[in-house]
Chain A
Amino acid sequence: MSLSVSIRHSFGAFSIDVGFEAPTGVTALFGRSGSGKTTVINAVAGLLRPQSGHVTLDGRVLFNSDTNAFTPVHRRRLGYVFQEGRLFPHLSVRQNLAYGRWFAPREAGSAGDHVIEMLGIGALLDRRPGALSGGEKQRVAIGRALLARPKLLLMDEPLAALDEERKAEILPYLERLRDETDIPILYVSHSMVEVARLATTLVLIEAGHVVRAGPAAEVLSDPESVPTLGVRTAGASLHAIVAAQEEDGLTRLETSAGRLLIPRVEAEIGARLAIRIPAQDVILSRTRPEGLSALNILPAKVTAVRLGEGPGAIVQLKAGDDLILARITRRSALALELAPGADCFAILKTVSVAQTNVGGAG
């Protein structure tokens, strides 16, 4: 399963020239509002016909400007989850869910019950969209897209219209979707938290052009992507296994770099997690600090340093098997003589690990 996209399109003075490959898993298109992400996803969906380029899914040509091929949107068999849900107000939840199945070719087996169970929407079936909360609407919208048995799932900022609580409610469902189905997902977002938790492949878009693309872990831990990701939100992830639930409200994790304590997360012992570590939450020290309130001190080795144009610097560290980023001042980077190969300690306050930064890792 793979999607190949290469499109060029211009609206007045703004032009888009984007090309990328999306393998199985979640491919996130990340960029600021107005960078052209939605145009790209709409071109893949067939809601927009680009001026030139091609879109190919598993060898099936959906669009090719050279041969004038263009598959209309209703024949592409893609599931599209929009930012605002777009449930049909005159139909019940059950009828909304069944809508796409109506037009899908009849194939053996029905994934219906599994999808309804996975999304936790069984109790809503007889309600009308008007009587659902924002989070419930989005879950039904995801179910409706999945039940059309799509070859590819498109999601355009599906969580952007929800508050933090609702986001936290839906993110685990999206992780299950990524880990339990083999449908490739194209996910448009400008939220670092969502991208870090969900993406397996990351495409960074700036002003209509791809500035960086590759495996998500690689792109997120690359100091060169930080300007696009945003200095305040950039950060890489540590992979961890739940070791114990402590009595004082903390969860103890084991990472390849050592022990990590975070505020209690509801997960079973042995569960695999990915903990996003925002670069600006990390403090660096050349010697192991003592008498410090921060509970997490991980030994690490500097692998790259990127001095910014302002007062900041981004340091890439190898902590165990994972690469993480630390955002410090240029002054500190120079004073501590941080250069590739230097040993240091990465210090992380336990309470700085927000619940939304803790995700499942297949």
Chain B
Amino acid sequence: MLDALPDWLATALSHDEWRAVALSLRVSFWATLASLPLGILVAYVLARCEFWGKQALNGLVHLPLILPPVATGYLLLITFGRKGPVGAALDEHLGIVLAFRWTGAALAAGVMAFPLMVRAIRLAIEAVDPKLEQAASTLGASRPWVFATVTLPLILPGVIAGAILAFAKAMGEFGATITFVSNIPGQTQTLPSAIYSFLQVPGGDAKAMQLVLIAIAIALTALFLSEWLGRSVARRIAGS
């Protein structure tokens, strides 16, 4: 990947800096993709189902949004760390280690972005008229089919918005990531961690600024992409 870059770009940034950008993109991509199905499910349950403990689930989903990120990172560390109850089991039975790996960074980013994703999708589901879903069920569609053929197509703009919001949040995640997986160049050093590192050394300001500009470019691209995708999907749904 690095070889394919134009010379001026490759020389503008050092190897480590490019690795930080590439790692951030990879972490955010997988964090978003892996949490999307769960995000849609949780949003649907919160929007359409009434059950005991709904407020507790809602609170749990929102916890990363209101807790200090360092606290979330610490909770992840004691749960998913090598000695944590979940982390130890994953290591023992599946050979999966999250702590101090890029996968752990993806988990931290996914958890931190989850409330934003769920909120966007939940709003979209609540905007779908349940009467349309009723009509589909009278026509013979079971609940999963109603979801797949009526609800999901209608909430697609909201799902896209939620996913891109989550991606942008994951790109910027710092506190929980650095607490859970540290700041190892090439392994867990994401874009924000790299900016932070440059700011800690004398004369690193210029490098930090370069990374900040890249972060701005990625964020704006994501924003325009989401606007464009959302509009074109909405147009297709409205059928005009």
List residues of chain A with CB under 8 Å of any chain B CB. Answer: 45, 47, 72-80, 82, 84, 86, 88-90, 92, 99-100, 102-104, 127-131, 144-145, 148, 154
A99 to B240, CA, bound (A): 21
- Measured CB to CB, the nearest residue on chain A to B156 is A90
Known pairs A99-B136, A128-B238. 5 more at Cβ < 8 A? A73-B138, A74-B143, A86-B129, A90-B154, A102-B140
Residues of chain B lying within 8 A (CB to CB) of residue A79: 138-139
* Contact of A90 with B239 in the complex, beta carbons under 8 Å: yes
Which of these, B140, B142, B238, contacts A89 with CB under 8 Å? B238
Complex: A101 Cα to B143 Cα, angstroms = 17
Instruction: Give the residues in chain A near B221, CB-CB below 8 Å.
Output: none
Q: Which of B132, B143, B145 contacts A88 (CB 8 A)?
A: B132
We find that the number of chain B residues with CB closer than 8 angstroms to chain A is: 24
> Are A103 and B139 in contact, with the CB atoms below 8 A?
yes
Is B232's beta carbon under 8 Å from chain A?
Answer: no
Q: How far is the CA of A78 from the CA of B131 in the complex (A)?
A: 16
**Complex Cα gap A89–B155 (Å):** 12
Q: Is the CB of B135 within 8 A of A80?
A: yes
Most chain A CB within a 10 A radius of its CB, from B135, B149, B153: B135
Q: Is the interface of B mostly helix, strand, loop or mixed?
A: helix
Closest to B135 in A: A86
Nearest Cβ on chain B to A76's Cβ, whole angstroms: 8
Contact B154 A47 (CB under 8 A): no
Roughly how many angstroms separate A74 CA and B131 CA in the complex, as a whole number?
14
Report B-chain residues with C-beta under 8 Å of the C-beta of A77: 140
**Complex Cα distance A90/B140, Å?**
18
How far apart sit A102 and B141, CA to CA, in the bound complex (Å)? 9
A144 to B140, CA, bound (A): 12
Contact between A103 and B237, CB atoms less than 8 A apart: no
Contact residues in A for B131 (Cβ distance below 8 Å): 82, 84, 86
CB distance from B160 to the nearest CB of A (A): 15
Which B residue sits closest to A100, measured CB to CB? B139
Does B212 lie at the interface of the complex (its beta carbon under 8 Å from any beta carbon of A)? no
Within 8 A of A (CB), among B124-169: 129, 131-132, 134-143, 145-146, 149-150, 153-154
Residues of chain B within 8 A (CB-CB) of A89 are: 132, 154, 237-239
Give the chain B neighbours of A148 by CB distance below 8 A.
Answer: 139-140
| Minimum C-beta distance from B131 to chain A (A) | 5
Question: What residues of chain A lie closer than 8 Å to B236, measured between beta carbons?
Answer: 90
The residue in chain B whose Cβ has the minimal distance to the Cβ of A42 is B134
Closest to B132 in A: A86
Q: Which residues of chain B are within 8 angstroms of A100 by Cβ–Cβ distance? A: 139-140
| Contact present for A103 and B141 (CB under 8 Å) | yes
Select B139's contact among A92, A129, A130, A145, beta carbons within 8 Å.
A145
Whether the Cβ atoms of A88 and B240 lie closer than 8 Å is: no
How far apart sit A76 and B153, CA to CA, in the bound complex (Å)?
25
Q: Cα distance A129–B139 when bound, in Å?
A: 17
Please give me the residue from chain B that is nearest to A45 by CB atom: B138
Instruction: Give the residue of A74, A80, A130, A144 whose beta carbon is less than 8 angstroms from that of B239.
Output: A130
Nearest CB in chain B: distance from A332 CB, A: 49
Q: Which residue of A lies closest to B131 (CB)?
A: A86
Chain A to chain B contacts (Cβ below 8 Å), 15 pairs: A73-B134, A74-B138, A74-B142, A75-B140, A77-B140, A82-B131, A82-B135, A86-B135, A88-B135, A89-B237, A90-B154, A99-B136, A99-B139, A130-B238, A131-B239
Chain B residues with CB under 8 Å of A47's CB are: 134, 137-138
Residues of chain B with a CB closer than 8 A to A104's CB:
140
Q: Decide: B238 and A74 in contact? CB cutoff 8 A.
A: no
Give Cα A148 to B139, complex, Å: 6
Chain A, residue nearest B133 (CB): A86
Beta-carbon contact of A90 and B145 below 8 Å? no
Contact of B240 with A90 in the complex, beta carbons under 8 Å: no
Q: Which of A78, A127, A129 contacts B138 (CB 8 A)?
A: A78
On chain B, the residues within 8 Å of A99 by CB distance are 136, 139, 141, 149
* Interface pair A128/B141, CB less than 8 Å apart: no
The residue that B141 contacts in the complex, of A74, A78, A129, with Cβ under 8 A, is A74
Q: In the complex, A99 Cα to B148 Cα: how many Å?
A: 13
